[in-house]
Amino acid sequence: MSNSSGQTRYVDQLSQELKSKFPQAGVEYVKNERYADEDTIYVNHGNVLDVARDLKNQFPYLLDVCGVDYPGRDKRFEVVYHFLNPDTNRRLRMKAKVDEGDNIPSLTPVYKSANWFEREAFDLLGLKFQGHPNLRRILCHEDFVGHPLRKDYPADRNQELKTPIQHTYEKDRERMLRDQGDYLDDKVWINIGPAHPATHGTLRFMAVLSGETIEKLDVEIGYLHRCFEKMCENHDYNQIIPYTDRLNYCSAPMNNNAWCRTIEKQLGVTIPARAQMMRVILDEFSRCIDHLVCITTNVVDLGGLTNFWLGFAARERVYELFEKLCGARLTVSLSRIGGMGFDFPAGWVEEAREVVKSIRQAHREIDLLCTKNRIFVKRMVGTGKISAESAINWGFTGPCLRATGVPLDMRVYAPYYGYDQLEFDVPVGASGDSYDRYQVRMAEILESCRILDQCLNNIPSGAITVDDPGIVLPRKQDVYGNIEGLMNQFMQVINGVKVPAGEIYQGYEAANGELGFYVVSDGSGMPYRVKCRPPCFAIFQAITEMCEGDMIADLVATLGTINIIAGELDR
C-alpha cells in the first residue's frame, strides 16, 4: 500500500480519538512518510489492554506480537503489535516501550491470538505479560538459560537439554491438574508424540480422556526450533533467502518471494513485470504441491495410501520444473532481492503447461477416491470444527479460515504482482470442520491451475531484475570484464544490500495463510531485527479448542487438515 492522505488522516484521527478516550495512555502518533500502512501508534505499556479493547471494533485481527531489544535506550524493549482490518485494507502497528522487569498486560482477554505470540516474546526476549493464562517457554526447552533474541546473547551459544525427558509427562500432569482442576485426576491421561506417526517427530500432545472423548488437550512445540530470527540478524539480506526456504519447505519459493517483497518494499523498488509473473507462476505451483502434500499425507494418517502416490507423482513433476530452473528441488532459493535469480530456460514454459495437466489429473483421481468415500467423509465431517468468529479471534488466515466461510485472501483484498488482473475464485467452506478444510484446499488447487493457465500464456519479455548495481549482483561477464562490475560484486558480497533505516511489515498469501515479515533496519547490510509471522503458528494454538469434545481418533484427522509444517511453526 502506498502512502495516501486518506489512510494517514485516518490513523492520525484514530490516535486523536484514543487520546481523548485514554488521556492517561500517552498515545503518540508516528507517521511513516513513505507508507501509510506503516504508521505507528505508541501507547504506555500499562494501557495496552484498554486500547486494544477499543481497537478490536475496528481491527478484528491481531496478527502478531513481538519484541525488539534496544540495549542502549532508557527503556530497553519495544513490544510491537500488528493489527488488520481486511474489509478496509487497513493495518496498524501499535508499540509500547518497556524496561527490564516491567509487566505488560496480556491481550489474551481481547484477542486469543495473543496467547502463543506473547509466550514467544517471553521465551526469546524475557518480556513479561501480566494476566497471561500460561506464560512459560514455548520454543526453547525449559532448562534454557537466558533469552536468545536479546542483543547480548551470542548467536553461537547453543544449550543442550540435559535433564531427562521422562519428567515431562508428570510435570505436564501436575500443571494441568493445577490449572484445569482436580476433577481430571481420575481420567485417562495419554501422551501423544513426538514419536508418533501423525506428529512427525516435532509435536507432542497431552490428552485427558473420558472414554475415547478428549476432555482436555495440551500441546507442546519447539522440537525443531532453530532461532530463525537470530540467524537473520547475523547475515545479510540475500544470505537470508536460503533460511526462508527452511520455513515452509513444502512451498519454499513462496517464502523466498515473501522475504524479497518485504525488503523490496523498504528499498522502494518495483521488480520488472517478467519477474513479477515468474513469482506468481512459482507461487501457484507451490500452492498446488503444498495442498497436495497436506491432503495426501492426511489421508495416509487415516489409513489410505493410494492418494499419497497420486499426489506425490504430480508434486515430483513440479520439483522437476524447479530443478531445471535453478538446480535445486526442495529448498530452491529462486528469488533475489530486486528480482529473480534465474530465468526460464528453453522449453520450460511448454513443460510447465503439461505439468498443470498432470496436477489436474491427480486432482481428479484424488477427488474420485476421497470426496464421496463413506469412510473418509465420516472421519472428516464434524471433526475439528471452529466457527468463523473464533477463527478470526485466534488469528486464522488462509485455507483454515476460508473453510469457516470467511473469504479472506490477500491476493484479492490487497493484490500484488498483477493478481487483480487474473481471473480466479476464492473457495470458502461453511462449517469450519475438517471436511471443509479438505474441500477448500482441493478447490484451491484447481483455482491455482486456472491462474497458471493465464500466466503461462502471457509471460512478459524483458529483464528479471531491477537495474541497480547497489541491489543486484552484476553479470558474470561484467565482473570479469570491467573494473566497475568487479567493484560492485566485491562491495555487495562484503557489505550486502544497504537497506534504508526504518521498519517494515509485509504480508504475503502463502499456502497456509498470511506469511509476514517484520523487519527493522539500521541502515547496514544486515537487519537489526527480523520477526517472522508464520501462518500455522496462530492456527495451531487453537487445536485445543477445536479438538476438545471430539474423539481421540479425530485428533489425527484434524491435525492433518490444519497443515502444520514444523519448519514454519518453530522456525
pLDDT score of 128: 94
User: What distances in angstroms separate CA 215 from CA 204, 321, 432, 550, one per listed residue?
Assistant: 17, 47, 20, 8
Is residue 340 within 8 Å of residue 282, measured between CB atoms? no
Residue count (the chain): 571
DSSP secondary structure letters along 76-129: -EEEEEEEEETTTTEEEEEEEEE-TTPEEEPSTTT-TTHHHHHHHHHHHH--EE
Stretches in the chain below the pLDDT threshold 70: 1-9, 164-167
Q: How far apart are CA 172 and CA 188, in angstroms?
A: 14
Q: How far apart are CA 9 and CA 11, in angstroms?
A: 6
300-341 residue pLDDT tens? 888 888 888 898 899 999 999 999 988 888 888 889 998 998
pLDDT score of 265: 93
Q: Which residues pair with 505 in a beta bridge?
A: 518
Vertex 15 angle, CA 12 and 18, to 5° = 155
How many other C-beta atoms are found inside a 10 Å radius of the C-beta of residue 392? 22
pLDDT score of 226: 86
Q: How far apart are CA 359 and CA 446, in angstroms?
A: 9
pLDDT score of 3: 46
Q: How far apart are CA 400 and CA 433, in angstroms?
A: 9
Q: How far apart are CA 400 and CA 431, in angstroms?
A: 11
- What 3-state class would DSSP assign to 259? helix
Domains of the chain: 5-130 (3.30.460.80), 167-220 (no CATH), 228-466+498-570 (1.10.645.10)
Q: How far apart are CA 537 and CA 72, in angstroms?
A: 31
User: What distances in angstroms separate CA 531 from CA 517, 534, 553, one per listed residue?
Assistant: 6, 9, 35
Q: CB pairs under 8 A, 24+ apart, for 173-178?
A: 173/206, 176/206, 176/208, 176/216, 176/218
